[in-house]
Structure 1
Amino acid sequence: MKLLSAALVLIILFFAAYEIFLFFEPLKIDETLIEINKGASAQEIAQKLYRKNIIRSKNWFYIYVKLSGKDKQLSWGKYLFFGNYSLLDVVEKLISGKVVLNKLTIPEGLTIRKTCRLLSRNEFGNYLKFKKLCNDSLYASQLTGFDIPNLEGFLYPETYFFPESASEDYIIRTLVNRFFTQTAELDFNPTLGLDFYETLIVASIVEKEARVESEKPLIASVYLNRIRYGMKLQADPTVAYILEQMGRTRYRIYYRDLKIESPYNTYLNKELPPTPICSPSYTTIKAVLHPQESDYFYFFADKSKGTHIFSKTYSEHLQKQRNLKKKNGK
């Protein structure tokens, strides 16, 4: 009987110690952003915190805030949790108010280098840390599921709101996750034998060529026609990308630039560049997946209008260039 009583006491003490552990022992939390909706009940908040692995016990959270009257002090908004938090710490954080979010718009058509510079200049993190993450092939493969050398093409252009304390890793993951979220509805059925990644590469070239949204499907058709007939793409933006990687950013491409030896030089190689050359927008990717039907193989820019002039043959292409020069008095 005494043994039974002792065993019962030990069991009670064990469970008491365990409950104290759930209440007071800090929990290590990976970088997690959570949004508490306006008007959410204490029970709903407890459920969300538990699902996000921010608290060990939703029951203890609910009991504590109800008995202490703190359930009425919990503030709605977005909170970033990172590090060690006890249940009491979590409650105090939610009472403290909303996390300040900083806005940043990432335009379409930026390279890794320019995206990292934009993030750094707006004080979202360290340029070298951003760049190192984006060019880490293992990291890129883990985030995308593709065996790729870097994250070029996956840093989705959009307006973001980041917490002040967000790390470089958190920000880059957010950009890549947004890419997959926004493009999920697109049907990436192989076009001309192009797989998902190759489609993204072509889209990145179209992004850098197009100045008018309505021209994207037509520009895409030119490049896809060239691929279909085994022609070199001869895309100036691929040469501009080489120059940027060499630290030679300029607005004009010279004839000597077309001879630079590089797998990205589409004047020398029939193959696609090994990676995208920028991050294209949703509409540009869609234009490559659903191009306008055409017999065009050539185009050049009409700088006075900000559009392009398209041709079916090279001789027609040259004639239209001469006509435009004559029209402009050159």
Structure 2
Amino acid sequence: MKGLKGLVIAGALAALAVFAWFGSGWWGGGMVEEETSFVVPSGATLTSVANKLEEEELIASADSFLLRAKILGSGDPVKAGEFLIPEGASPASMLDTFQHGDVINRFVTIPEGTPSIIVYEKLMAEPLLTGEIPVPVEGSVLPDTYSFERGEERTAVLARMQAAMRNYLAEAWPKRKPDIAVDNIEDAVTLASIVEKETGVARERRMVAGLYSNRVKTGMLLQADPTIIYPITKGKPLGRRIRQSEIAAINGYNTYTRVGLPTGPITNPGREAIAAVLNPEKTSALFMVADGTGGHKFADTLAEHNANVEEWYNLRRERGEM
């Protein structure tokens, strides 16, 4: 009897030792020597993740990982994305991270007034994104900061940028003031793109919007320099002074030779520029010229404007710019 009891105890101890060994290989410290990022590809299975962990030498054996995961781990699916694995992470904590942890997000920022060709180049230059995209339609992207995951398709990131613009316009358009200069969302974006390019001073946006709204309503030429540049560079900086031949060019954008708005936006305007067009300053101003501080001087009459222009020229002469 005593012999049988001893065998039972020995068997129990052996089983306990096996379980301890089995468990230590799951919950004990792992092979990760330093904090490491690990990418779970889209559509990955637990088996493919285990094989990838072994290939990257983050675990000793994919088979051992899978066996322990099936017995001791959660049955939840793994998520696609990039994850951060801390130094010494156990296999158990790795699996929990892939199933329930936070995916590492990266960010791309599109400043207000960024033309679509630059949006395209910025997304195509991001090495952590994948796939091809076309140059987006001008005015379809809402400038903002957007998160993305390593390996995400560029088309998905661009789609979020364009959805953000649609959503913002759907929210802002019903709040427009009565009797504004445009009667549809598309024209509002086009006018906002001019406001965005004409001033970088936040406090001026509504005033500039009011001035151009007055010109649209009275049928005056808008005479916005950025509309000359757009068909030449697609919104990129010109890098030189505008030529007389370019001022006289007849096309769908040049508001020196075309009455009314351009045929479409000349950049991607931000929220504030759009809001300014939908709620412009009540003003009788029809003219503006730079004031030398980054802002503008506004005038109701051509005589006032000419005096402001002369003052601007005098300032430039003092600075040695003319």
Normalised by the length of structure 1, the TM-score is 0.63
Give the whole-Å Cα distance in 2 for the aligned partners of 1:100 and 1:267.
Answer: 49
Structure 1 residue 311 and structure 2 residue 299: aligned? yes
Give the whole-Å Cα distance in 1 for the aligned partners of 2:240 and 2:143.
Answer: 22
Structure 1 residue 130 and structure 2 residue 130: aligned? no
Structure 1 residue 104 and structure 2 residue 108: aligned? yes
Asked if structure 1 preserves the Cα contact closer than 8 Å seen for 2:188 and 2:278, the reply is yes
Gap regions ≥5 residues in structure 2 = 1-41, 44-68, 83-94
Give the whole-Å Cα distance in 1 for the aligned partners of 2:72 and 2:141.
Answer: 45
Asked if structure 2 preserves the Cα contact closer than 8 Å seen for 1:112 and 1:131, the reply is no
Q: Map residues 181-260 of structure 1 onto 2, 5 A cutoff.
A: 181-188=167-174, 189=176, 191-245=180-234, 249-260=238-249
241-250 or 260-269, larger mean C-alpha shift? 241-250
Asked if structure 1 preserves the Cα contact closer than 8 Å seen for 2:230 and 2:236, the reply is no
Percent of matched pairs sharing the same residue: 27
Give the whole-Å Cα distance in 1 for the aligned partners of 2:288 and 2:72.
Answer: 71
What residue number does 1:164 align with?
A: 150
Q: Give the residue type in structure 2 aligned to 1:313.
A: T
What residue number does 1:180 align with?
A: 166
Q: Give the residue type in structure 2 aligned to 1:182.
A: Y
Give the whole-Å Cα distance in 2 for the aligned partners of 1:300 and 1:288.
Answer: 20
What residue number does 2:283 align with?
A: 294
Structure 1 residue 227, shift from structure 2 partner:
0.6
Asked if structure 1 preserves the Cα contact closer than 8 Å seen for 2:227 and 2:253, the reply is yes
Structure 1 residue 163, shift from structure 2 partner:
1.1
Asked if structure 2 preserves the Cα contact closer than 8 Å seen for 1:204 and 1:277, the reply is yes
243-252 or 272-281, larger mean C-alpha shift? 243-252
Gap regions ≥5 residues in structure 1 = 1-30, 33-64, 82-90, 135-150
> What number of residue pairs does the alignment pair up?
237
Flag the 1:126–1:260 CA change in 2: closer, same or farther, 3 A: farther
Deviation by residue 1:70-123 (Cα, 9 ceiling, x = unmatched)? 16x889xx8569xxxxxxxxx999428443322111111011101111122232
Give the whole-Å Cα distance in 2 for the aligned partners of 1:213 and 1:183.
Answer: 20
Q: Give the residue type in structure 1 aligned to 2:121.
A: R
Give the whole-Å Cα distance in 1 for the aligned partners of 2:235 and 2:268.
Answer: 19
SS at match of 1:110: coil
Flag the 1:121–1:306 CA change in 2: closer, same or farther, 3 A: same
Asked if structure 2 preserves the Cα contact closer than 8 Å seen for 1:104 and 1:161, the reply is yes
Give the whole-Å Cα distance in 2 for the aligned partners of 1:269 and 1:315.
Answer: 24
The structure with more radius of gyration: 2
110-119 or 237-246, larger mean C-alpha shift? 237-246
Query: Moved runs in structure 1, 4+ residues, more than 6 A?
Result: 65-68
Give the whole-Å Cα distance in 2 for the aligned partners of 1:109 and 1:118.
Answer: 14
Give the whole-Å Cα distance in 2 for the aligned partners of 1:238 and 1:324.
Answer: 22
Flag the 1:192–1:74 CA change in 2: closer, same or farther, 3 A: same
What residue number does 2:139 align with?
A: 153
Flag the 1:229–1:66 CA change in 2: closer, same or farther, 3 A: farther
Asked if structure 1 preserves the Cα contact closer than 8 Å seen for 2:205 and 2:276, the reply is yes
Give the whole-Å Cα distance in 1 for the aligned partners of 2:208 and 2:128.
Answer: 35
Q: Give the residue type in structure 2 aligned to 1:161.
A: S
Q: Give the residue type in structure 2 aligned to 1:275.
A: G
Give the whole-Å Cα distance in 2 for the aligned partners of 1:294 and 1:247.
Answer: 31
Give the whole-Å Cα distance in 1 for the aligned partners of 2:272 and 2:139.
Answer: 14
Q: Give the residue type in structure 1 aligned to 2:233.
A: E
Flag the 1:99–1:251 CA change in 2: closer, same or farther, 3 A: farther
Give the whole-Å Cα distance in 2 for the aligned partners of 1:79 and 1:174.
Answer: 19
Q: Give the residue type in structure 2 aligned to 1:314.
A: L
Q: Give the residue type in structure 2 aligned to 1:123.
A: P
What residue number does 1:9 align with?
A: none
